[in-house]
């Protein structure tokens, strides 16, 4: 009897896992180390990857992006369980972990590769991101965040992935400040 109960529990777990509704999002807001650190700890986030998007150069490297030769932004790709969290909730978190009033830089990280930008994957994401921006503006916040159709996301080098977890550090410029209540 106990073995059949274990099997039922395991089969139920597998069923939930295989029917999970996953979606993706791409956010850029300064140094991708801190952005990834904050986003990957959100409820419902399954996987993240740091990388580059928004420029013209294929297969960009960190050095080329940093030298402003590619037009790319440092960004974070997110895969999430849409039954646990929503795109709107992730957008709200995105805006709470940086200052969207800055242009071409976040905190001490300056340059166009550190811009605030949401790379939407479909029209629903564009509309929902615009809705969150409007919420912020109505609350008195200045927002310079760009909304851009997603192009190719180029994963960053391995040494950048989950940087703060590898180094036992915490972000110095991505501190969460509640803006939505």
Residue 29 among the catalytic residues: no
Q: Give the class (CATH, top level) of 21-167.
A: alpha beta
What does the pLDDT look like over 141-158, one tens digit per residue? 999 999 999 999 999 998
How does 104-123 read in b/e, with b if 16+ C-beta sit within 10 Å?
A: ebbbebebbbbbbbbbbeee
What pTM does this model have?
Answer: 0.87
Domain boundaries, the chain: 21-167
Q: Is 148 exposed, middle or buried (0-12, 13-18, 19+ CB in 10 A)?
A: middle
Catalytic residue among 29, 31, 91, 173: 31
What does the pLDDT look like over 155-179, one tens digit per residue? 999 888 988 888 888 877 788 889 9
């Amino acid at each position: 009897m106990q073995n059949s109960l274990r099997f039922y529990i395991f089969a139920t777990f597998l069923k939930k896992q295989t029917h999970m509704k996953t979606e993706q999002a791409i956010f850029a807001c300064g140094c991708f180390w801190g952005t990834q650190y904050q986003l990957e700890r959100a409820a419902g986030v399954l996987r993240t990857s740091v990388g580059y998007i928004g420029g013209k150069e294929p297969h960009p490297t960190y050095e080329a992006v940093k030298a402003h030769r590619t037009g790319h932004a440092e960004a974070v790709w997110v895969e999430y369980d849409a039954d646990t969290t929503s795109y709107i909730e992730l957008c709200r978190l995105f805006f709470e972990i940086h200052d969207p009033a800055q242009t071409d830089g976040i905190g001490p990280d300056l340059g166009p590769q550190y811009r605030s930008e949401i790379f939407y994957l479909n029209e629903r994401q564009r509309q929902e991101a615009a809705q969150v921006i409007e919420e912020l503006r109505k609350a008195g916040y200045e927002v310079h965040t760009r909304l851009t159709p997603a192009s190719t996301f180029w994963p960053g080098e391995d040494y950048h992935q989950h940087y703060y977890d590898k180094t036992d550090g915490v972000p110095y410029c991505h501190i969460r400040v509640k803006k939505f209540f």
